[in-house]
Structure 1
Amino acid sequence: MTVKSLVMLLTAGLLLAGCDRIDPNSPLGQRKALFKQMLRTSEDLSGMLRGRLAFDEKRFAEGAARLDALSRQPWQHFPQAERDDRSSARDEIWQRQERFQELVREMEDSTAALLAATTATPLAPARLKAPMQRVEDACEACHQEFRAY
């Protein structure tokens, strides 16, 4: 195989590999990015409450505020007609919008409750565990019904 053929083959391979990427500006790309931010923030908060990370009142309160703000953003990127094979959403999400919106409200309510729990200072991890569990349960409920694993 000549060098020219090898270069062309590698170039074609790189171009094809790039075709599977999700456009970060598409609704799918935007909601995936938001969900990743929510996951990272939630993992940090849970880590502080479960002893994997040192508990820091200020960081926890900031994280709760960030999670509450993030929890209100991905839903606008679920346009009714959009279906993408690269999505982790099951087809039922498009057919059962009323139930999906109910779970969205539960998520938003749970993050608001967590944020409200951070206003009583000093923050005590024991008082934050139940509101954090409610957030985790809201995530899990939606995933169980609408996420394709």
Structure 2
Amino acid sequence: MSLAACGGVDPDSPLGKRQVIFKEMLNVSEDLGGMLRGRIAYDEPVFVEKAAQLDILSKQPWQHFPSVKEEGETSARDDVWQRQERFQELARELEDTTARLVASTTQPPLNDSVLALRVQAVEDACESCHKEFRVY
């Protein structure tokens, strides 16, 4: 029996695939913010690795939004499909913020103030898209 038959999300569906990516993005982003805010130990090589990982992840979920809204429960608002141009614009903004974060990790010594600004920009990009396109 598949998860969909039990009321869960089919992990092979577009929804299931993007949920996995978004969850991974959240976990990596929380680690980066946690290191800069003192919630977890700052480890520069790990920070650099996770920044690169977040940049890769930021480019992945968009391919799993089909051109027509799929059946079933999703936290994506109908606007995702009705306002595709704006949705894609915000996706590119997120990708730009993660690229700038990675660029800030390529020249040691790393500047904590710059990294904090870059991580905040990533968080802000996520939040702006959520405000417009996510059901809470």
TM range (shorter): over 0.9
**Structure-2 change in CA distance of 1:92 and 1:16 (3 Å):** closer
Question: 2:131 aligned with 1:131, yes or no?
Answer: no
Question: 2:115 aligned with 1:142, yes or no?
Answer: no
Question: 2:50 aligned with 1:63, yes or no?
Answer: yes
Could you say which residue in structure 2 is the equivalent of 1:106?
A: 93
> What's the TM-score, normalizing by structure 2?
0.94
Distance in 2 between residues matched to 1:127 and 1:82, nearest whole Å: 39
Distance in 2 between residues matched to 1:27 and 1:34, nearest whole Å: 11
Distance in 1 between residues matched to 2:34 and 2:113, nearest whole Å: 13
1:68 alignment partner AA: D
Gaps of 5+ in 2: none
Task: Give 4+ residue runs of structure 1 displaced > 2 Å after superposition.
Answer: 15-18, 82-85
Cα RMSD after superposing both structures: 1.8
Could you say which residue in structure 2 is the equivalent of 1:45?
A: 32
Bigger-Rg structure (1/2): 1
| 1:77-103 deviation per Cα after TM superposition (whole angstroms, max 9, x unaligned) | 001113333110001111000000000
Could you say which residue in structure 2 is the equivalent of 1:4?
A: none
**Structure-2 change in CA distance of 1:76 and 1:17 (3 Å):** closer
**Structure-2 change in CA distance of 1:84 and 1:49 (3 Å):** farther
Could you say which residue in structure 1 is the equivalent of 2:67?
A: 80
Distance in 2 between residues matched to 1:96 and 1:75, nearest whole Å: 14
Could you say which residue in structure 2 is the equivalent of 1:117?
A: 104
| 1:101-134 deviation per Cα after TM superposition (whole angstroms, max 9, x unaligned) | 0000000000000000001212232220111111
Could you say which residue in structure 2 is the equivalent of 1:97?
A: 84
Identity %: 61
2:101 alignment partner AA: L
Distance in 1 between residues matched to 2:4 and 2:11, nearest whole Å: 16
| 1:11-64 deviation per Cα after TM superposition (whole angstroms, max 9, x unaligned) | xxxx99962010001000000000000000000000001010111110000000
> What's the TM-score, normalizing by structure 1?
0.86
**Structure-2 change in CA distance of 1:29 and 1:126 (3 Å):** same
